[in-house]
């Protein structure tokens, strides 16, 4: 074997032993590995020297070089594995969890503004004796229109901008159809609140193709408009957290007679001429429609209008959330703005 190769092997051995001394780190050992076994490393240089030897010397020299290579590789691998185990142990000790300690807990996310308003509304209504019921979002024409006194030729159907399926079913345009379901399922007397998603072909800063409503229905004997107003104002005061003035305007809905719409005083400006963005200087905010149940609707629900009467109202929960939290654009509720939803400004 060439003395130059033997000298090279001893030089590499000294380099590795120096790298393995106390204070070695994973970084220094990896640097040593590259210096010895890399493409331009010392061991690669030794292997290239084999070509300079005679055919008789070459097998023996190759065997010695390969043996040295295996020895050096084993030493480096063993040292690196030892340091990696030490590093892992240190990490485990540093990051370990003492399961015997009491839990520290973690912060929970808040409810979405629309969900929070829905819970607020239902909490007040349940305190007034209402039962919460839900129904299908894919409805039939009968429950969504016909049973609510809206026959096929009625112009109110054009106001709904309905999403129809090819088989005659549709995405419900309001939660009012739950009135019929509730009357057929529960009979009279009854008090039900019906929250849920509804759908219409509409999309602008104050309207969305999918939004949320809550329907309230009371059927009993000797029900009056005074009962309707008292129930509604109790709900408004409970949701907004203080008494607010309300005014009622005559309106028209096919399923109620008489029909009204209700406005509440602007909870920001209190009706003063301040031109606030919420009420636009009018001092009033529209929140929903209502009225006494039309006799035809009671009949479709299997209830005799000569014995029972009742009232119903429908409100947009998204609209209530906008008013309660001072929003001017409905889309802010559904844009996925996590910074707003997690800020707590709506709680």
Q: Which residues line the annotated binding site for Mg(2+)?
A: 257
Q: Which of 243, 246, 268, 219 has its CA nearest to residue 315?
A: 246
* Alpha helix stretches (DSSP H) within the chain: 3-19, 26-37, 42-49, 58-95, 113-127, 141-144, 156-160, 177-186, 225-240, 295-300, 317-324, 338-341
Strand, coil or helix: 174: coil
CB 210 within 8 A of CB 193: no
Do β-strands 131-132 and 190-199 pair in parallel, antiparallel, or remain unpaired? parallel
> Cis omega before residue 21 (within 30°)?
no
CB 217 within 8 A of CB 312: yes
CB 215 within 8 A of CB 189: no
DSSP state of 330: G
Question: At which residue do the structure tokens 């007397």 appear?
Answer: 189
Question: At which residue do the structure tokens 């003395």 appear?
Answer: 3
Tally the C-alpha atoms within 13 A of residue 246's C-alpha that lie toward its C-beta: 20
Question: At which residue do the structure tokens 């219409």 appear?
Answer: 200
Binding residue numbers: 257
Q: Give CA–CA dist 160/213, Å, rounded.
A: 14
Contacts of 341 (CB under 8 A, 6+ apart): 110, 112, 113
């Amino acid at each position: 074997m060439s003395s130059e190769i033997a000298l090279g092997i001893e030089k590499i051995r000294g380099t590795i032993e120096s790298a393995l001394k106390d204070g070695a780190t994973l970084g220094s050992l990896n640097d040593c590995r590259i210096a010895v076994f890399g493409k331009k490393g010392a061991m690669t240089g030794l292997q290239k020297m084999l070509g300079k030897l005679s055919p008789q010397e070459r097998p023996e020299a190759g065997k010695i070089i390969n043996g040295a290579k295996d020895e050096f590789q084993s030493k480096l691998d063993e040292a690196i594995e030892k340091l990696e185990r030490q590093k892992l142990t240190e990490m485990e000790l540093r990051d370990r969890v003492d399961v015997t300690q009491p839990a520290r807990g973690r912060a929970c996310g808040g409810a979405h503004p629309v969900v929070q308003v829905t819970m607020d509304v239902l909490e007040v209504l349940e305190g007034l004796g209402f039962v919460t019921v839900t129904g299908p979002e894919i409805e039939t024409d009968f429950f969504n229109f016909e049973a609510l006194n809206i026959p096929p030729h009625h112009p109110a159907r054009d106001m709904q901008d309905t999403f129809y399926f090819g088989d005659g079913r549709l995405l419900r345009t309001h939660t009012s159809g739950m009135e019929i379901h509730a009357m057929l399922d529960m009979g009279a007397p009854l008090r039900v609140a019906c929250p849920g998603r509804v759908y219409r072909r509409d999309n602008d800063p104050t309207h969305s193709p999918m939004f949320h409503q809550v329907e309230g229905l009371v059927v009993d004997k000797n029900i009056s408009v005074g009962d309707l107003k008292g129930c509604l104002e109790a709900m408004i005061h409970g949701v907004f957290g203080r008494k607010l003035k309300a005014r009622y305007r005559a309106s028209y809905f096919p399923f109620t007679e008489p029909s009204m719409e209700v406005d509440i005083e602007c909870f920001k400006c209190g009706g003063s001429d301040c031109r606030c963005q919420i009420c636009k200087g009018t001092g009033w905010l529209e929140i929903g429609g209502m009225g006494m149940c039309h006799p035809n609707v009671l009949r479709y629900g299997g209830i005799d209008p000569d014995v029972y009467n009742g009232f119903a109202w429908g409100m947009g929960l998204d609209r209530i959330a906008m008013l309660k939290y001072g929003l001017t654009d409905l889309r802010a509720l559904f844009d996925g703005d996590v910074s707003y939803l997690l800020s707590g400004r709506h709680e």
